[in-house]
Amino acid sequence: MERSFIFYLLLLLCIFSFADAGSIGVNYGRIANNLPSAVKVVQLLKSQGLGRVKVFDTDPAVLRALSGSGIKVTVDLPNELLYSAAKRMSFAFSWVQRNVVAYYPSTQIEAIAVGNEVFVDPHNTTKFLIPAMKNIHQALVKLNLHSAIKISSPIALSALQSSYPSSAGAFRPEFIEPVFKPMLDFLRETGSYLMVNAYPFFAYESNSDVISLDYALFRENPGVVDPGNGLRYFNLFDAQIDAVFAAMSALKYDDIRMVVTETGWPSKGDENEIGATIQNAAAYNGNLVRRILTGGGTPLRPKADLTVYLFALFNEDEKNGPTSERNYGLFYPNEQKVYNIPFTVEGLKDYKDSRSSVSGGQQVTTPVVGGVSKSTTGNTWCMANQDVGKEKLQAALDYACGEGGADCRSIQPGATCYDPNTIEAHASYAFNSYYQKKGRDIGACYFGGAAYVVTQVPKYGQCEFPTGY
C-alpha cells in the first residue's frame, strides 16, 4: 500500500511538473467512406485538446477546415509525386504554392513530410527522396517560409539493420551513403528533425512468447538491461526509439531531434494477430500519452522530450490488409471513442490503466527489445553483432560449436552453409542454432554482447537458418 501511494504521489508530481514536457498529436487518415466532414473533425480535435494533426495529403477541404483552429498541421507530399518533385524545381515550387502558401498562415502548417516510409515503397522511389526534399525546401526558401516550416520524411523501423539491443541500433548499410547521411546532413543544416514510425505492436504480435505484454504496454515490469550501454528499459517503445538514436549516433548525428510521426495499437485483429484487443489498445495509447506528457526523454536521451502522433484518429473501413489495419482508430466514424483515454495533462489526473485479462502467448518477465519490423512467421532468429570485432566473434563461435552444443555441421567446408566463408556468417548460423535449441530464450542470444535477436529470417547466400529443434 505504501509503495502504491508513493508511486501515485510521484505520478502527480510528474503531471504538474512536466506539463509542457512532450506533445501529443494524431494522424488523420481518410481511407473510409463513412467519416464525418472535415469541419466536424476539427471540432472533435479541439474538444479533445489535440493541438497537432498529421494528414497524408493536402486535401483542400481539410486544410480549409483547419484554418483559424490553432491546430498545428503536418502535411504530406505523397510517394507518387517524389519523382516530379525531385526532377523539376518548377513542380516543387508550384506544389508548395498550391498546397502550402494557399493556406498558410491561417492553417498553421508546421512541417511537410516528403514521402512516407519510402524505403518500403514497392515502387522503389528511394533515389528520388533527397532531391525532392531539397527542392521542396528550396521552394520554401524562395517564399521565405523555410524558418517556419520544416521538411523531413517518415522512416519505418525496417530501415534499421538491427535494433536489439538498442545500443546496437544501426541503419541498413545499403542506405547509409546514398540516403541517410545526406538526409541527416539536410536535417542538421535546416534545423529539422527525423520523422520515425514505430509500432511495438508488430514486435509483440510476432514474438508474444518472449516479449512481456506489460513491457509492450508501458505497465510495471522488471525491465531489461541493455548489455551495450548498461541502461535499463521498462518499455518497448523507448527501446525502439533509442535504437534509432543509436543508429544516428553511430553516424555522428547526435544533435538531430526526432518526432514519432506514427505509433499505435489496434483494438481488433484477425485470430493470428495476438494482442489486438480494445483493452490492450487502450492501455498502450493511454499509457503512452501519460509517458509523453509527464516528461523526460528516453534512457539514452533523457532530455529529448518527444512529440508523438497517435495512429489513428478513426477506424478506416476501406483500408486493405488484415483486420487490424481497419481498427487502429481512437474514434469510430460517429465520433464516439473506441476506448476512453485522455490526450491532455488535465485529463491524466483522472486516468487509470484498466488491467483487463487478454489472450496471448506465454508472458515472461524479461522481454525482447528487438523487432525492427513485423515478422511474417512469428519466429525470431539470433544474429552475430559484427561491431564487437572478429576476435570476440571467433571466441563466441568456438563456444557455440563446442560446449554450447550448437549444430555447426552445415558451416564446415563443403557443407551447405560454409559459403560465404566469413566469421560473421558462420557465427550467425552457430548462434542461431544455439538460440533455437534453447527454445529462443532471451538469454540464449547474447554471447557477451556478440549477438542480438532479429524478427526477419537471416540470409547468407543459399543458407537456410533453422527456426526450431
Q: How far apart are CA 149 and CA 277, in angstroms?
A: 37
Distances (CA, A) of 177 to 54, 127, 161, 184, 393: 29, 12, 14, 11, 26
**What angle is formed at CA 111 by the lines to CA 20 and CA 333, rounded to 5 degrees?**
80
Check if the beta carbon of residue 294 is closer than 8 Å to that of residue 11: yes
Cell numbers linked to 84: 516530379
Q: Enumerate the active-site residues.
A: 117, 262
Which helix (H) or strand (E) is 433 found in, with range? helix 423-437
Name the CA radius of gyration of the chain, rounded: 23
DSSP states of 279-335: HHHHHHHHHHHHHHHT----SS-TT---EEEES-SB--TT--SSGGGG---SB-TTS
With a CB cutoff of 8 Å and minimum separation 6, the contacts of 227 are 165, 167, 446, 448, 449
Neighbour count for residue 52 (Cβ, 10 Å): 20
Q: How far apart are CA 257 and CA 164, in angstroms?
A: 21
Cell numbers linked to 112: 511537410
Please state whether 113 falls in left (phi above 0), alpha (psi between -120 and 50) or beta. Answer: beta
